[in-house]
Structure formats: structure tokens, C-alpha cells
A = this chain, B = another copy of it.
Amino acid sequence: MPDAFWQPPSILLAVDLVILTLRSSKLHVLLVERGIEPYKGEHALPGGFLNNVDEGILAAAQRELREEANLDASQLHLEQLGAYGDPGRDPRGRIVSVAYLAIAPGLPEPEAGADAAGASWKPVEEIDSGRLELAFDHRWILADGIERARTKLERSSLATAFCNEPFTIAELQQVYEAVWGVELDPRNFYRKVQGVPGFIIPVGAERRTTKGRPARLFRRGQQTVLHPPLSRPNPLTTSEAN
């Protein structure tokens, strides 16, 4: 019960980034090795505190993206996942973190930024199989980020953000397969993707060298909402929600 003498507690605000990309047909997340306590030496999501009291939260996320991952935030999809603020999530005290999701196209090895002791792409499979542990509650933040990406792939054109332009339909299919963790029929995928108006648009009849028949090249269309949606294959009968 607040009274005249009561003052709200002040806390520290941080941002954490879930940066996903595709490397050799597998979903990877950018992790840094912590250079300071707590959790020194362990893997964690890139992130950090607000620089000063006037810095916006999104601005802080964009700054960390640049500092820790050498990525240009202006080009990337950046979306808030939510606030993570359980008491005790950080041994240093009450720290609330706002997490953001970013999607990056395939990139060369990350260069460690200023702060990060070492940055590297890790397959997400290693984390949620439990083989690789993350600092703080980052495992759950990552899980939420992946889940968000999964559902967004259905109704938004987010998948193209994983691809460098121009891309082939097969490459786009690999994005869906990697993120969803399923196999898709190339023929049905081809039909559906082409059927969504404004999703991908063919760039003049170009082609690229592989083994078999050359593939047509596409670039992102202007449409960001997919209709009809690309529905994820039935993950059996879940009864989970919320």
C-alpha cells in the first residue's frame, strides 16, 4: 500500500538480442562469450544496459546490434519479444531486460565487436537439446524468439529476410524447413509461394549454377502480409496455447 512516503523501487534496464540466421541449412543464433561476471566465460545473447537515461529501448537494441554483432540495424527486421524481469534472473540485482528479435541473411563469420569477448553463430539445436547452456534466462528468451519467428513465417514475408537477394525458391524453402524443423514438398511449396501475390517477384529470367536445371531468381515483393498464408504442417495435436 503506497503512502505519502513510499517511493517506487528503481531497477536497471537491459536489452537482449535474439539474432537468427541460416548457415548451411540450419538455424543459428548469434551468441557472445561473456567477458565479465556473472556467468563469465559462458555463452549469452548479445545485449547490454541502456547507455543513459535518455536512450530509447529500441535505440539501445540497435546500438548493441551494431556494437556486438557489427550489423547495420537500419537494414534488419527488429521486433520486440517482450520484457523478462523475474526477480533473481540476474544475481547482480533487479534487472529487467527487453528482448528483441532480429533476422539476418546468411553472413560470413561474425567479427567480435567492441564489447563482446567473442561472438559466434551457434546452431539453435545445440541449445534446446541442452548440450549448450546459456547464461541468465536466455534459454527461454531464445525459445520465445524462435517460436515468434516460426509463427511469423506463416503470415508474413519474414522468411525473405533470411535470404540474400536474389534468391531461388529452393533457398526460400530451406528457410522454412530450417525454422520450422520440417521437410516440405518442393512442388507444393513452389505452387504456394508463387500463388501469394506480391510475396516474391521474379527478377528477369536469370539463373544460377548448381548441379541440375538452373533455377529462376527472385527478389522480395512489396507485400508483407501473406495471403493465403503458408501454413505450417500439423505438429500433431498440440493442446498447448496461451
B1 touches A12 (CB 8 A): no
Please report the C-alpha to C-alpha distance between residue A98 and residue B83 in the assembled complex, in whole angstroms.
Answer: 7
Interface residues of A in 67-115 (CB under 8 A from B): 77, 79-80, 82-83, 85-87, 93-94, 96, 98, 114-115
Contacts of A96 in B (CB 8 A): 13, 57, 83, 96, 98
Please report the C-alpha to C-alpha distance between residue A12 and residue B7 in the assembled complex, in whole angstroms.
Answer: 10
From B9, B56, B57, B222, contact of A53 by CB (8 A): B9
B114 touches A85 (CB 8 A): no
A59 to chain B, nearest CB (A): 9
Please report the C-alpha to C-alpha distance between residue A121 and residue B85 in the assembled complex, in whole angstroms.
Answer: 30
B79 touches A80 (CB 8 A): no
Contacts of A242 in B (CB 8 A): 77, 79, 156, 224
A10 touches B8 (CB 8 A): no
A157 touches B83 (CB 8 A): no
Contacts of A86 in B (CB 8 A): 56-57
Please report the C-alpha to C-alpha distance between residue A93 and residue B54 in the assembled complex, in whole angstroms.
Answer: 9
Please report the C-alpha to C-alpha distance between residue A239 and residue B225 in the assembled complex, in whole angstroms.
Answer: 6
Please report the C-alpha to C-alpha distance between residue A107 and residue B132 in the assembled complex, in whole angstroms.
Answer: 49
Q: Is A11 an interface residue (CB 8 A)?
A: yes
B87 touches A9 (CB 8 A): no
A223 to chain B, nearest CB (A): 6
Given A8-B49, A80-B83, 7 other A-B residues pairs in contact with their CB atoms under 8 A: A11-B13, A13-B96, A56-B85, A82-B82, A225-B238, A225-B241, A227-B234
